Amino acid sequence: MNIQQFRYSRDNLGYLVYSTKEAIAIDAGGVNEILTFAEKNKLFIKYVSNTHSHHDHTSGNNEILEKTSAQFIDCKQLEPDQTLSLDTENIKIIHTPGHTDDSVTFKADDFLVTGDTLFNGTIGNCFSGDLKGFFNSLKQLMSLSKETKIYSGHDYVLDSMKMAKIIEKENPNIEAYIKDYDPRLIVSTLKDELKVNPYIRFNAQSMIKNLEKRNMPTNTEYARFKSIMDIY
């Protein structure tokens, strides 16, 4: 399976995930660029869907549906572990509520389209109010192969690393992560995220020490996650 990233608005990221001929447009805000890319590569856009129903992610849906014969799949209708087929390949749906109740992650081969659940460098706001659910969603993603690539819903890399430095100024991996930043393609691996993304570093020894120094609860994984979320 292949993936092409499209930047639109200020920092939104949309995607075309495709096999040999068939494609799915996910959070397809940059409609013209997507259609041009599809045409150039002789791709048939079979589906249009979203990582969640926030307007900045769904804004391109109608236009792309009008201009193609794609079928719309409402993310609210996607079942956990459901698969979507493109040619002979599959995309798996992982339910990842937390940012919103209807947040999903699309998994194909070695990459994820995570929307506003897991960003490169940070995580989304917990608008659902269900912090435990959000934690479980992140844990589910963290259990995947560490080489898994993360394609997220926004480019928040530089601001995220400013925050990461505030939380863990002693973390030596942050500078290298900033150095690798290229606005033309925003992608990282789960392994990279576990080194720098403070919100999923609740099992890192240095983070645990950091929380202890601040007298924050550290007795369970979830307590540490909540402590990090409570700091910022």
Q: Does 155 contact Fe ion by CB under 5 A? A: no
Q: Which amino acid is at 138?
A: L
Are residues 149 and 110 in contact, defined by beta-carbon separation less than 8 angstroms? yes
Are residues 123 and 117 in contact, defined by beta-carbon separation less than 8 angstroms? yes
Q: Does 107 contact Fe ion by CB under 5 A? A: no
Q: Does 149 contact Fe ion by CB under 5 A? A: no
Question: By CB under 5 A, how many residues form the interface with Fe ion?
Answer: 2
Taking the complex as a whole, the smallest distance from the CB of residue 52 to Fe ion amounts, in Å, to 6
Which lies closer to Fe ion via its Cβ, residue 38 or residue 141? Answer: 141
Which lies closer to Fe ion via its Cβ, residue 51 or residue 171? Answer: 51
Which lies closer to Fe ion via its Cβ, residue 54 or residue 107? Answer: 54
Please list every residue from 35 through 54 that binds Fe ion, using CB under 5 A: 54
The b-or-e profile of 56-93 (16+ CB within 10 A means b, else e) is bbbbbbebbbeebebeebebeebeeeeebebeebebeb
Q: Does 7 contact Fe ion by CB under 5 A? A: no
Which lies closer to Fe ion via its Cβ, residue 46 or residue 154? Answer: 154
Span from 30-38, 68-76, 109-117, 176-184 in contact with Fe ion (CB under 5 A): 109-117
What CA–CA distance (Å, rounded) separates 129 from 99?
8
What CA–CA distance (Å, rounded) separates 24 from 16?
6
Q: Does 154 contact Fe ion by CB under 5 A? A: no
Which lies closer to Fe ion via its Cβ, residue 128 or residue 227? Answer: 128
Q: Does 195 contact Fe ion by CB under 5 A? A: no
Q: Which position among 22, 102, 116, 193 is part of the footprint of Fe ion (CB under 5 A)? A: 116
Taking the complex as a whole, the smallest distance from the CB of residue 25 to Fe ion amounts, in Å, to 17
Which lies closer to Fe ion via its Cβ, residue 54 or residue 95? Answer: 54
Q: Does 168 contact Fe ion by CB under 5 A? A: no
Q: Provide the mask over 51-80, with x wherever binding to Fe ion is found by CB under 5 A and - wherever it is not.
A: ---x--------------------------
Taking the complex as a whole, the smallest distance from the CB of residue 98 to Fe ion amounts, in Å, to 11
Residue 92 has phi, psi (to 5 degrees) of -105, 140
| Contacts with Fe ion, residue ranges (CB under 5 A) | 54, 116
